[in-house]
Amino acid sequence: MKVLRYSTLETPFGTLWFAASPKGLSFLLLRFFGQRRTPQQLRKARGAKLVRDDKALRDFAAQLTRYLEGEKLSFDVELDLS
C-alpha cells in the first residue's frame, strides 16, 4: 500500500492540506469547512495509508507561508503527478 505523508497549514483562506509520496508533493486541498472528512477523502482518492508528518513537510509549509505573506518566490518542491 502506498504511504502518503501529510500535514496542514492554517491560512487566511482556510486549512490547506498537503501530502507527499517519496517522489514528491502529490496532493493539495484547501478546506473551508469540516476537516473531519478530508483524511478519508485523501485516503480514498489516492488509495494510500496516511501518516501525519509535519517535520517531513516543513520546508514546503515554510515556502507556502512566505508565498502567502506576499513574497515572490519559486517553489523548489518535487511533484509526484502519478
Summarize pLDDT for 12-45 with one digit per residue, the tens. Answer: 888 898 999 999 998 888 876 555 666 666 666 5
pLDDT tens digits, 45-78: 567 788 899 999 999 999 999 998 999 889 889 9
Alpha-carbon dihedral angle through residues 8, 45, 4, 59, given to the nearest 10 degrees: -40
C-alpha cell at 41: 477523502
DSSP 3-state of 80: coil
Total Cβ atoms within 10 A of residue 46: 15
pTM surpassing 0.85? no
Domain boundaries, the chain: 2-68
Q: What are the backbone angles phi and psi of residue 37, rounded to the nearest 5°?
A: -85, -15
- Strands 2-11, 48-52: pairing is parallel
For domain 2-68, give the CATH number.
3.30.160.70
Report the DSSP beta bridge partners of residue 8: 17
